[in-house]
Amino acid sequence: FGSHQRNLPVDTDLVTPPPRVAPSFSRLSLSLSLCPTGLWSLEYKRELTTPLCITARNGHTACVRHLLFWRADPNMAPGGQSALHEACEGGHMDCTELLLEHRANPNLLSEEGLGCARCAKLLVKYGAMVDLPSEETQETPLHIAAKHGLYDHALLYLRYGASVDRKNSREETALSVTCGQAKEQAEQGSYLQVCRLLVTYSADVNATDEEEKSPLHKACRNASHTLVQFLLQNKADVNAIDYNGASPLSCSLQTAAFKQQLRPHLTVQTLLNHGSQKIWPMAFGKVQSHSCASVPEIIEILFNSYSQVPISEQWREAIPEEIFQVGKLWMHLPFYESFFMLSCTPRCLQHLCRCAIRKKFGGKCHYLIPLLPVPKPLQNYLLLEPEGILL
């Protein structure tokens, strides 16, 4: 590489990677060209590339992993082709998956305006098997596309006959994988799009994995409200029980404290309005004081789903102290004051009427309540919309 060669000190710390370095190299090659005079002459051609592109092009997975560890930029494309394009065109699945796991942009276009889906299409066109599973995990290309939220790839594989309900070594279908991977707010849209595609191709929304978890269990655990709504609209079993005896509602409550930015109370509200079985009343104190103490919206929704729940003063003592630290005090204190004021007081008549209507509608509350000829605020009240205070 001539003047572009770089020397690294031999005592470089291999445990803590240095700042991202993504050097580009120019590769020189000789070619013959015909001059106007009719004579042939030698000329140099310069190709811009990176070490990551070179290793991905040749399928050297270990080298790709090493360069990514040292923070090589997976989206750098000085010559118009990113490392992901190179890996796809070479048919190197391990390199492709490794780059995607390190946030390589699957929608990055090449210099010719081609995306990686075009590369996958070429591979399929030239005989790549769309249902060929990997040896270790038994994942098919459709599983990989679902894992990374790649709609175009998933559509391509399905059009070429990929089995939509094929399971991997963990007994997961592509739909199950998709629901399990939708963990960040920014990713929800792409995973929802893939879910819609899979269901369009008749994916089983109630297929379970080795732990008997359905796609709905996983979507609830990730507080993916839009996915939960979509699955329920397509006849997902709202009361399915996994191997550990947990329902989708239980999965939502278990992770609510860690998913506050995703507004997990919307998932709980949706499940209850679709007929989810409520938690055992005697277990309410444990949920209130441990799992969801920092998410009072969930406490309010759950509490309002019962006509009456006995409130124990011991629950007040069980609430973690950090819930009432400075900065959170004024946010949560009014709710908890109203909550414990109901310890020796019957609920109001309006609430009891709500419970009677919801009991009558059962699992169709989400559908029937919006049809009632009553003002929108009253419909929201019947649908357990949290108000920040209990009456």
- Position 19 scores a pLDDT of 43
For 7, other C-beta atoms within 10 Å of its C-beta total 5
Whether 274 and 249 have beta carbons less than 8 Å apart is answered as no
Do 157 and 123 lie in one domain? The reply is no
Do 378 and 367 lie in one domain? The reply is yes
Do 145 and 273 lie in one domain? The reply is yes
Separation between Cα atoms, residue 53 and residue 237, nearest integer Å: 46
- Count H helices and E strands in the chain, helices first: 20, 2
Do 31 and 41 lie in one domain? The reply is yes
For 72, other C-beta atoms within 10 Å of its C-beta total 21
Walking along the chain (391 residues) 10 residues at a time, the average pLDDT comes out as 41 38 51 54 68 94 95 90 88 87 81 69 76 88 93 94 96 98 90 98 98 98 97 98 96 92 96 94 72 87 91 75 57 80 88 97 97 97 94 82
Tell me, what amino acid is at 33?
S
Do 248 and 369 lie in one domain? The reply is no
Do 12 and 122 lie in one domain? The reply is yes
Tokens of 31: 């070619």
Could you give the number of structural domains in the chain?
A: 3
Do 115 and 137 lie in one domain? The reply is no
Whether 237 and 161 have beta carbons less than 8 Å apart is answered as no
Tell me, what amino acid is at 88?
C
- Of 226, 254, 277, the last residue of a domain is 277
Tokens of 285: 């104190």
Q: Please tell me what DSSP assigns to residue 279.
A: P
Do 114 and 176 lie in one domain? The reply is no
Separation between Cα atoms, residue 383 and residue 391, nearest integer Å: 16
Do 268 and 139 lie in one domain? The reply is yes
Whether 61 and 97 have beta carbons less than 8 Å apart is answered as no
Tokens of 382: 């019947």
User: What residues make up the domain containing 203?
Assistant: 130-277
Do 109 and 213 lie in one domain? The reply is no
Do 299 and 361 lie in one domain? The reply is yes
Tell me, what amino acid is at 22?
A
Ranges assigned E (strand) in the chain: 25-34, 40-49
Do 174 and 163 lie in one domain? The reply is yes
- Of 128, 162, 184, the last residue of a domain is 128
Residue corresponding to tokens 């109001």: 348
Separation between Cα atoms, residue 42 and residue 32, nearest integer Å: 5
Separation between Cα atoms, residue 328 and residue 345, nearest integer Å: 27
- Of 277, 301, 330, the last residue of a domain is 277
CATH number for position 24: 1.25.40.20
Separation between Cα atoms, residue 147 and residue 143, nearest integer Å: 6
Please enumerate in sequence order all residues whose Cβ is within 8 A of that of 182, keeping only pairs 6 or more positions apart, or say none: 149, 188, 191, 192, 219, 222, 224, 227
Tell me, what amino acid is at 248?
P
| Half-sphere exposure for 275 (CA within 13 Å, toward CB) | 15
